[in-house]
């Protein structure tokens, strides 16, 4: 479920548990592990990715204030689902 009515537009929402899951693309959200920044037009991309990261931080902060648990998963983490599933399971526990 992709609830666009929730701030930050999470990829999945467990509304009764108040848990939101975001899967952040490594390129678009500036993954520090992958560090895939284009070598051309770097001024544009540095600014774009910095704004995306700031928007993510602001959305997460507001959602926490609003009583949500927020789980952010990097795109590359989907290659090892065990740790991702563990984080989601822990967030869903009361």
Report whether pLDDT(1) > 80.
Answer: no
Which structural domain, as residue segments, surrounds residue 20? 12-92
Mean pLDDT over the full length of the chain? 93
54 lies in some domain: yes
Tell me the pLDDT band of 7, cut-offs 50, 70 and 90: confident
Other CB atoms within 10 A of residue 11 CB: 15
What's the CATH number where 18 sits? 3.40.960.10
Report whether pLDDT(4) > 80.
Answer: no
Establish how many alpha carbons lie within 13 A of residue 7's alpha carbon, considering only the half-sphere containing its beta carbon.
15
Global pTM reads 0.89
Q: Write the pLDDT tens digit of every residue in 26-72.
A: 999 999 999 778 889 999 999 999 999 999 999 999 999 999 999 99
52 lies in some domain: yes
Q: State the DSSP H helix or E strand holding residue 21, giving kind and residue range, or none if neither.
A: strand 19-24
Q: How many domains does the chain have?
A: 1
64 lies in some domain: yes
């Amino acid at each position: 479920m992709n609830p666009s009515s929730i701030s930050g537009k999470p990829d999945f929402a467990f509304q009764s548990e108040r848990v939101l899951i975001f899967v952040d693309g490594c390129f678009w959200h500036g993954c520090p592990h992958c560090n895939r920044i284009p070598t051309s037009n770097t001024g544009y991309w540095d600014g774009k990715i910095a704004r995306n990261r700031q928007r993510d931080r602001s959305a997460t902060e507001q959602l926490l204030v609003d009583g949500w648990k927020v789980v952010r998963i990097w795109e590359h983490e989907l290659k090892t689902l065990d740790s991702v599933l563990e984080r989601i399971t822990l967030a869903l526990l009361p």
